[in-house]
Structure 1
Amino acid sequence: MLATLVIGLREGLEATLIVGIIAAFLRRNRVPLAPMWLGVGIAVVLSVAVGFGLQVVEQALPQAQQEGMEAVIGIVAVVFVTGMIVWMRTHARTLTKELEASATEALGRGTAWALAGMAFLAVLKEGFETAVFLLATFQASSDTGLAALGAVIGIAGAVVIGYGIYTGGVRLNLSKFFTGTGIFLVFVAGGLVLTVLRRAHEAGWIVIGQQRTLDLAWLAPNGSVQGALVTGVLGIPPDPRVIEVLGWVLYVVPVLAISLWPRAWRPSPTRFPAVRMVTAGVLAVAAAALAVGVPTGGVDLPRTIAVTGDAGSVTASVDGATAVLRTRENGREAQLALPASAHRHVTRAGVIADRWRLTEDGSADRQSSTLTLDDLVDLFGRVPVGISPSTNPGPFTARWAVRDTVTLWTVRGGVLDASRTERTVLTLRDGGLPSARTTTLDRTVWSVSDASVQRSATAVATADTRAAELLLWKAWLPIALGVAAAAQALLALRDRRRRPEPTTTTPETDPMRGPRTDDPTRSPEYAVR
């Protein structure tokens, strides 16, 4: 409730100040106020419609898309409130002069409708920002009813204060007011950054940096005033994740520095390009240090692995989509080329692996032979289904067909799993059989043990998770810092082009005009009657 109250109060006061200044200007110049109030009314209606429209669209979406839309609305809200804080930081002292200059220009066009359009656009901007910011705050709030009540109280208070300023009954130091509320809104927007990152993860957009950092349940217990302040107002969850903490710090620290930086410490316009270039250099160095210094994740599985069965070990050599498998079976070394046509990307034991599977017709020791019932029991462990010792006593004429299948699974060239199986198809005739009987016999010639496969898969999964975690610090954060460095460098070039030509006069005194009077540190605090 406190967050929405401050948002409604601040945003509403900005709008009412603009309207009040324009109304006072019109009254002094004996211009009708009806067109201005019409523009203000239309802007208010459109702003409310924007908020309700976004809410209706969001509710019509499936759950994952709702989370995604809430993340987008939160991003827009953070951008709006940041721009509002920075703009008001630099324009609070000169707001009346700027608005009156614009009103004079609009009035010079000869119609009050130009001023109505000015009021309409100003209120529409503030109203749209308020609608988006409040909607994002409602979504992050645990009690939307109290949040809505706070917004209503804040807007009503802003209207009352604005009317008092307009009539001259209220005196307000706008510079201090907007500085104080701006600091509070920096932390509210920081909480929105946390909410945006949480919603983006729930929508499936962000999967990195989800490790828990701190347990803040002791700081924000449920049902307490302290918990309502930390979680409800500042938007800090009891279980912040790594990427959320990083996003909060990267937003709050620079924006708070901009809000609190003393005007006396601000560099002169001639030094601004140098300051921006130094900032760009620091950011670029930090990005390069992270990109180079943060280690890479991953694990390399061995190329040779022990197997059980007729072979002692297998060795894989992978070259792109082809592979060569070498085995030592029964004291003999064998080599098998696995072509690209046998290659697939599959999931094995929970990890993504490259699989080669090659099936060939093998050679049986006996292409045809005679088998007795005892031979069949030795082969299958029982009498095959469909053969009765009383009516089919044998001996049987047997024909063998063997298919040999070799399968290899690798991860980044290392062996995860491998096996060789034989499927023998036995066809029996004669021996009292009225017709031919076919029986299948499967045998594993050699394979990697299940325990070994599971250990390797666990190591790969752990390494992949670690690599995803490091990707935040090795790639995404350096990219963000690099973008910030490039932006500062471009702004420095812009400031350098706009830099005024040096003069021979001193900064403090102009011999033709006398002492400077435009120094903001010497001017009185801005106040509105």
Structure 2
Amino acid sequence: MEQVLFIVWRESVEAMLVIGILHAWLSQNPAAGGKRWLWGGVLAGLLLAALLALGLFAASEVFGRYQELFQAAMVFSAAALIVHMVLWMREHGRSLKRELEAGLAASRARNNGWGILLLVALAVGREGSETVVFLYGTLSGSEGAALWPLLLAGVAGFLLALLSFWLLQLGGRYLSWRLFFRATEIMLLLLAAALFTSGIDKLISLDILPALVDPLWDSSALLDDMSASGGVVSALTGYRAHPALMTLLAYAGYWLAVLALMRWRSRRVATRLAA
């Protein structure tokens, strides 16, 4: 449930940022029917995300007895997508506003309302599709999760996003965009680690990966991952009170890969700026 709340909160704020940038530009640079095309694009983007959700549900039914393998693949896909999103935002976050406005300016110059709609639909659809994949991967990694608590967590995440966006719009008096993205990218990487860990656990339970040593230790006396507080830590970081050696090795490998990718992307950005 905590994962659902966080994902909906973070992705909703990012979608609101995109819509806010586009709305502000159209307010300052009126185009024929511009805002109607804007909101049409928002609806189209949400429709794309809904179609993806239906497609994932249908695909999981088609796979039948291989459903657990499909779910494990989606868990790993969600973790990989989160890492990619964090790296992409670190590289393109500063130029996001400029790129969106350039796309709107090009469509306005051609008096192309459909171009505005397509740009908005792709921008919003990207955020919505990421949310769908993240949520599907999260639910695939959670066994027997009740529906109503998850729905309430999603609504709470959206309401929290509205509050956060309002605070961010106050110009950094209470919360700055820079601080928001830096804090949430750390939380996102921890969440991806939790998803990756649950995927490894699923592969071990399916006898696809060996546990090697299970359990490697027992830290439940300090923090039991079956307790309320331990469950939250487990869901958001991948903590295990009774980890298998394979799970621990995979967890360490995840962080080594993330750090290597961050260093590689940082060097690439520095090289591009120096050119």
- Same fold by TM (over 0.5)? yes
| Bigger CA radius of gyration | 1
**Residues 253 and 110 (structure 1), Cα distance of their counterparts in 2 relative to 1, 3 Å cut:** same
**Residues 157 and 170 (structure 1), Cα distance of their counterparts in 2 relative to 1, 3 Å cut:** farther
Q: Which whole-Å CA distance do the structure 2 matches of 1:87 and 1:224 have between them?
A: 35
Q: Pairwise mapping of residues 270-289 of structure 1 onto structure 2 (< 5 A)?
A: none
What letter corresponds to residue 87 of structure 1 in structure 2? W
**Residues 133 and 268 (structure 1), Cα distance of their counterparts in 2 relative to 1, 3 Å cut:** closer
Deviation at 1:164, TM superposition (A): 7.0
Q: Is it true that 1:101 corresponds to 2:131 in the alignment? A: no
Q: Which has the higher relative contact order, 1 or 2, with Cα contacts under 8 A spaced 6 or more apart?
A: 2
Residue in structure 1 matched with residue 42 of structure 2 by the alignment:
40
Q: Show CA shifts across 1:175-217 (max 9, x none).
A: 221110110111111111111122233445x233543222243
Matched-pair contact (CA < 8 Å) for 1:77–1:132: yes
Q: Is it true that 1:84 corresponds to 2:105 in the alignment? A: no
**Residues 79 and 173 (structure 1), Cα distance of their counterparts in 2 relative to 1, 3 Å cut:** same
**Residues 66 and 269 (structure 1), Cα distance of their counterparts in 2 relative to 1, 3 Å cut:** closer
Pairs aligned (count):
267
Q: Which whole-Å CA distance do the structure 2 matches of 1:89 and 1:203 have between them?
A: 36
Give the percent of matched residue pairs that are identical in Structure 1 and Structure 2. 27
Residue in structure 2 matched with residue 136 of structure 1 by the alignment:
137
Considering fraction of residues, name the structure with more helix: 2
Deviation at 1:119, TM superposition (A): 0.7
Q: Which whole-Å CA distance do the structure 2 matches of 1:224 and 1:203 have between them?
A: 25
What letter corresponds to residue 8 of structure 1 in structure 2? V
Matched-pair contact (CA < 8 Å) for 2:194–2:235: no
Residue in structure 1 matched with residue 179 of structure 2 by the alignment:
176
Residue in structure 2 matched with residue 207 of structure 1 by the alignment:
209
Q: Is it true that 1:2 corresponds to 2:2 in the alignment? A: yes
Q: Is it true that 1:24 corresponds to 2:24 in the alignment? A: yes
Q: Which whole-Å CA distance do the structure 1 matches of 2:154 and 2:26 have between them?
A: 30
**Residues 123 and 267 (structure 1), Cα distance of their counterparts in 2 relative to 1, 3 Å cut:** closer
Q: What is the aligned counterpart of 2:248 among 245, 260, 268?
A: 245
Q: Which whole-Å CA distance do the structure 2 matches of 1:39 and 1:149 have between them?
A: 27
Matched-pair contact (CA < 8 Å) for 2:212–2:244: yes
Is the deviation greater in 96-105 or in 50-59? 50-59
Q: Secondary structure at the match of 1:239?
A: coil
Could you state the TM-score of these two structures normalised by the residue count of structure 1? 0.46
Could you state the TM-score of these two structures normalised by the residue count of structure 2? 0.83
What letter corresponds to residue 186 of structure 2 in structure 1? I
Q: Secondary structure at the match of 2:187?
A: helix
Q: Is it true that 1:188 corresponds to 2:198 in the alignment? A: no
Residue in structure 1 matched with residue 126 of structure 2 by the alignment:
125
Gaps of 5+ in 1: 273-494, 501-529
**Residues 267 and 47 (structure 1), Cα distance of their counterparts in 2 relative to 1, 3 Å cut:** closer
Deviation at 1:83, TM superposition (A): 1.0
Considering fraction of residues, name the structure with more strand: 1
Matched-pair contact (CA < 8 Å) for 1:93–1:175: no
